[in-house]
Amino acid sequence: MRTLLKVLSFLLLLPTSITSEAQDINYARALIDTLASPLMYGRGYVNKGDSLAVSYLALQFEHWELKSFGDNYYQPFSFNVNSFPYEVNVSLNGNELSPGDEFVVSADSHSDNGIYQVKTIKQKTFLKSQKLKRIEKQNHSGFYIYFDLKPDDDKTKLVMPLVNSFIDENPTDARGFILPVNSIWWHVWAKEMKQKPSTAVKIKSNAVPGNLKTISINVKAEYLDNHIARNVIAWIPGKTQPDSFLVVTAHYDHIGMMGPKALFPGANDNASGTAMLTDLARHYSLPENHHDYSIAFMAFAGEEAGLLGSKYYTENPLFSLEKIKFLLNLDMVGTGGDGLMVFNGTSDSLRYDILKNINDKNQYLKELRIRSGSANSDHYYFHEKGVPAFFLLTFSSEHRFYHDIYDTREALPLTKYNEVFRLITEFFNSI
């Protein structure tokens, strides 16, 4: 695979040698095409997809002759994570559903293989506590429970906390659960607690037959103990103040695959941010663009599993966190038609004003939207430790796919890629 990656890298590096633009959208596009291709298995925990992305990024860093802090660019760490490398099939009343499109199994699911009768619990049951108590005393072992709810209905929103705790506590000892939803999305399970002894299946409401009697399920899950993941980290020494660092971060991992058929490519989340980070590394590696400050590029693992790579880094930094003058985290920057969100903007109004002035002057993005800090991406643990940091995320109606099989390279518009890139380099020149 390394040879194949080398060939891919060589091919995509060709156009960059003839461009004089600051940013190189062709290079970024080629990076995204590879990172979000089926070859990378959704950069998760099936077929070592995350590890393939690591090798590929390291080849890019090598090509641009970036420095490493130790012997290599890798910072390994480990965590436990559930994965679905084998078959994941579900049929209702004998009709097979399409994985990733019509259903997902809960990320904490264990293996299950069989045909089960379905018991239905209606929405109104959850509105009447006496009725719910009676049901909770029943025994449903060997059955799947179907919650007959209209997704996104006001009453459904009201009862969802009860439904979720019914699934969590499983008072009737059911074999599993079927939950109708309007849109299918997935995530990663990497908690200390192992797989759940029951399986919850989310199914697109229009794929649930009117008279649901049986579910046939064949899921084989594999819980990976101490899965080794790697952050990929490089830097370029500053010309005049090498002891002060600007830092660019982006997570390269995504949620992988649910069985051999459902691939979650994660083009926007976060092949886009990883590509921009790598393109910035290319830009600053060129002698004419060397910055006064040192610049570190940190591509993090395990973000989708709970910000694990960046958390590990802040607990085991490769240079003192106090040397970081500013950090920009890029997560989902492949759109931008409507604008750019700046998380943590409220905690550093001085830097936010600098960013905003650059944008206003150049009319790069229609709108910058200031947001407070939150634990929604890799800037979080840095900010908690006092590192000044923004998290940038583009938004628009052009591409709303998120954690689903449709967040593909073909669908990603890169509408404001050049503008966001220039905003960042001008910002780095102004702080």
The footprint of Zn ion (CB under 5 A) covers 269-270, 331
Nearest-approach distance from CB 377 to Zn ion, in angstroms: 6
What SS3 class is residue 156?
helix
Number of H helices, E strands in the chain: 10, 18
3-state secondary structure of 387: coil
Choice between 255 and 387, CB closer to Zn ion: 255
Q: In terms of DSSP H, where are the helices of 86-239? A: 129-136, 154-169
SS3 417: helix
Rounded least distance, CB 183 to Zn ion, Å: 18
Nearer to Zn ion, 270 or 335 (CB): 270
Two tokens, residue 16:
């960059």
Output the six-digit token pair for 409: 């390279």
Nearest alpha carbon to residue 379 among 273, 283, 284: 273
Nearer to Zn ion, 176 or 256 (CB): 256
Tokens describing residue 73: 């660019």
Lookup: tokens for 30: 């080629």
- Measured from the CB atom, the residue of 236 and 328 that comes closer to Zn ion is 328
Shortest Cβ 268–Zn ion spacing (Å)? 8
CA distance 260 to 402: 20
**Shortest CB 60 distance to Zn ion, Å:** 19
Q: By C-beta, is 299 or 358 nearer to Zn ion?
A: 299
The nearer residue to Zn ion, 303 or 426, going by C-beta atoms, is 303
Smallest gap from Cβ 71 to Zn ion, in A, equals: 29
Q: Which residues contact 224 (CB under 8 A, 6 or more apart)?
A: 45, 80, 81, 82, 83
User: Which strands sit side by side in the sheet containing 199-204, from one edge to the other?
Assistant: 95-96, 88-92, 214-219, 112-122, 143-148, 176-181, 199-204, 103-105
Minimum CB separation of residue 149 from Zn ion in Å reads 29
